Structure 1
Amino acid sequence: MKDNVETARSGATSTCRESVEAELLRRNQELTELNEKLSRAQEQLLQSEKLASIGQLAAGVAHEINNPISFVFSNFGTLQTYLADLLRVLAQYEKAEQFIANPQMVEQIAALRQQVDLDFLMDDVPVLMSESREGIERVRKIVQDLKDFSRVDAHQDWQWANLHHGIDSTLNIVNNEVKYKADIVKEYGDIPEVECLPSQINQVIMNIVVNGAQAISGPRGRITIRTGTGEGHVWIEIGDNGNGIPKTILSRIFDPFFTTKAIGSGTGLGLSLSYGIIQKHHGRIEVQSEPGVGTVFRIELPIKHDEERDQSEVHE
């Protein structure tokens, strides 16, 4: 009888323990899911703050630079016309020198011509004007690229965008980070416009390209950007021939705050934010890497944004 009671007690204890363990597992699973949702929300918040900062910077730069550049550019065109007229007048005066009767005056003009090297000035002034105009046009292009990159003149709405234009604008923005490290090779395919958040896609491109440049050490490297289309989606591949990523950490590169850079050299948020952006677009981002060979990121984006899927995810 005593044995039966102990067996019953043991069975009840075992059942109770199993029930408690099951409840702990269930609660742990719930906490894990909540933590993942919190992490995603944090990533989106950080991304929104970063994009807002970039937008404010672009707006300030555009305002401060565009105004003086506009009137300088306008004045420059007028100045070129004036100089062309002056050079034509000088050319006529040069022809008239032979008809001057006063030998002393002719001698003074010849001495002044030699002193200022008039022939050289007449050849060099148009060249300098042309180079200066080109420089001003480049400044205007940089400002426009910055506006295109951050879309400061548009709301954060889903819109149809030419990804190639966005990539080109982003490359101009990060040119200083890349130009001393690598050559950019573009192998663009024939792709349609994509319904997306253009500034956020540009942010992804920027993060990956800058990371690729930073992964290149030693001899000058190469970053190749390819695009193409599949069934209902477009894809972008960004590959570099840098140091590559060890397999032991490859699965962690999209984790928030994970970085292999020295302290103070990076937050570890770039690729994590990029992952969140692509997920927000219902796309995919994958990476293949081999140490000593290089890394390739592949992004797939649906051509048409699925609003119904957004709504269903909000209500989950």
Structure 2
Amino acid sequence: MTLSSTFVTAPLPPQPVLLALFERINEGVLLFREDGTVAVANATVRAMLGQAETDGDAEAGSGLDPAKWLRQLLPPDALEHARQHGHWNGSLPVGERMVIVHLYEQEDAGRRHYLALFRRIEGQEDYERELQQRHAELRQAYLRLNGTQEKLLQSEKMASIGQLAAGVAHEINNPIGYVHSNLGSLQEYLRSLFTVIEAYERALRAPDPKALIPEIDDIRTRFDIDFISRDLPQLMAESREGIERVTRIVRDLKDFSYSGRDESWKLVDLHAGLESTINIIWNELKYKAELKREFGQLPLVECLPSELNQVYMNLLLNAGHAIAERGTITVRTGVEGENVWVEFEDTGGGISPELRQRIFDPFFTTKPVGSGTGLGLSISYSIINKHHGRIDLDSTPGVGSTFRLVLPIKQPR
């Protein structure tokens, strides 16, 4: 006999036999269509529904058909999850007990059918097994959520830099432009200096060096060597300053765009982060606002510096956008007990009371389409919340707004 011959295909038992078997098993069986039509609801399900006096859930299930009762028990996304993935499972409270539910979906001839299997959790082992499974599922959901949040954070960071790209390029092009110009002048200066040096060398080799002094003086006058000697140090200093500015902008951009996935909590000078952020976005602000710094004496603060820099950028850009033509942005810092605070005040249009309730909502923005993602303040709120701090807002329409970040100096252990 071959292996395959041991498996014999036999016709299924008639439907009454299957229904009788469903009635005898301890697990609940509920088969229904999407429109709520119930095909099978065995005795265990009817007991859970409240049709059996021994279950204690009669009040909750009274007057409901099994399909409607199950829909009320399930989480809002359970049926959708079953439609997308073919199944859903979880634990639900029924009366005073917990029940494990497995929900399956099958489409046939354009109609969806659902099969729900119920099993009561009995004994300590079942409870521990269910808790371990729920813990594993929650951990996976947390990891997915954490990964999504990191991607969203990085996406918003890159979107901010993208919006500032033209301004950053301008800030880099300016010093590069005058360094390039200075190099052209330096080339001319060197040519003049080499001409004078050659004249001196000829004089040293001549039998009568003093006879060439008039020629040397003429060359010095013609090439204005006295001016070159005065201008050359200034030209080199300007070029060095320009290169340092470009280096600083590139470094700040690199620090700001850093993903932060592996960034650890560290003690940081908040003023350095503020200056770095201002340096990146200065071209966006300088034509609209005067920037005032009122910095206090701050201790080193335990934080994730890359994420705080993004908060500074969001609040500074919002302050700049709130100013219609010309105004003032004031950045203040200080210490208050075990906390430090950073304040951003603008003389813009202010925020109306009805909008204040929504400004931290994801994707909410008052900017024109295409000029903002609506995630800046929402992400800033979550970053400050991660730092166990808070954001306070004081705004008067027509006068301006003040956002204050309050952060603990040391993170709670």
In structure 2, the CA distance between the partners of 1:51 and 1:306, relative to structure 1 (3 Å rule), is: farther
The structure carrying a bigger strand percent of its residues is 2
Does 2:286 correspond to 1:179? Answer: yes
In structure 2, the CA distance between the partners of 1:201 and 1:140, relative to structure 1 (3 Å rule), is: same
What secondary structure, in the 3-state scheme, does the structure 2 residue paired with 1:141 have?
helix
Residues 4-23 of structure 1: matches in 2 within 5 Å?
A: none
* Corresponding residue of 2:239: 132
Letter in 2 for 1:254: F
Residues 26-175 of structure 1: matches in 2 within 5 Å?
A: 43-51=149-157, 100-101=210-211, 106=214, 109=216, 111-150=218-257, 155-175=262-282
CA deviation vs aligned residue, 1:196-240 (integer Å, no higher than 9, x gap) = 11100010000000110111122x311111112223221111111
Letter in 2 for 1:274: S
Match of 1:245 among 346, 351, 354: 351
Does the 8 A contact of 2:341 with 2:404 survive in 1? yes
Match of 1:269 among 362, 367, 375: 375
In structure 2, the CA distance between the partners of 1:187 and 1:154, relative to structure 1 (3 Å rule), is: farther
TM-score by length of 2: 0.52
Aligned counterparts of 1:47 and 1:128: Cα–Cα separation in 2: 43
Residues 225-236 of structure 1: matches in 2 within 5 Å?
A: 225-236=331-342
Aligned counterparts of 2:378 and 2:160: Cα–Cα separation in 1: 18
Single out whichever of 127-136 and 154-163 deviates more from structure 2: 154-163
Does the 8 A contact of 1:156 with 1:197 survive in 2? yes
What secondary structure, in the 3-state scheme, does the structure 2 residue paired with 1:174 have?
helix
- Alpha-carbon shift at residue 140 of structure 1 (Å): 2.3
Match of 2:405 among 299, 307, 310: 299
- Alpha-carbon shift at residue 156 of structure 1 (Å): 1.4
- Alpha-carbon shift at residue 249 of structure 1 (Å): 1.1
CA deviation vs aligned residue, 1:148-205 (integer Å, no higher than 9, x gap) = 4445799311111111111111111111111111122111122221211110001000
What secondary structure, in the 3-state scheme, does the structure 2 residue paired with 1:101 have?
helix
Single out whichever of 196-205 and 238-247 deviates more from structure 2: 238-247
Aligned counterparts of 2:253 and 2:154: Cα–Cα separation in 1: 17
CA deviation vs aligned residue, 1:15-73 (integer Å, no higher than 9, x gap) = 759xx99x969967x9xxxxxx9999855540144458999xxxxx9xxx9xxx9xx9x
Does the 8 A contact of 1:203 with 1:274 survive in 2? yes
Does 2:369 correspond to 1:259? Answer: no
- Alpha-carbon shift at residue 110 of structure 1 (Å): 5.2
Identity score, percent: 49
Let me know the Cα RMSD of the aligned residues.
Answer: 4.4
Match of 2:320 among 175, 188, 213: 213
What secondary structure, in the 3-state scheme, does the structure 2 residue paired with 1:168 have?
helix
Whose radius of gyration is greater, 1 or 2? Answer: 2
What secondary structure, in the 3-state scheme, does the structure 2 residue paired with 1:172 have?
helix
Aligned counterparts of 1:296 and 1:156: Cα–Cα separation in 2: 29
Q: Which has the higher contact order (CA 8 A, sep 6+)?
A: 1
The structure carrying a bigger helix percent of its residues is 1
Does the 8 A contact of 2:342 with 2:406 survive in 1? yes
In structure 2, the CA distance between the partners of 1:196 and 1:25, relative to structure 1 (3 Å rule), is: farther
* Corresponding residue of 1:33: none
Match of 1:191 among 272, 279, 298: 298
Number of aligned positions between the proteins: 257
Does the 8 A contact of 1:216 with 1:241 survive in 2? yes
TM-score by length of 1: 0.66
In structure 2, the CA distance between the partners of 1:128 and 1:118, relative to structure 1 (3 Å rule), is: same
* Corresponding residue of 1:279: 385
Does 2:327 correspond to 1:224? Answer: no
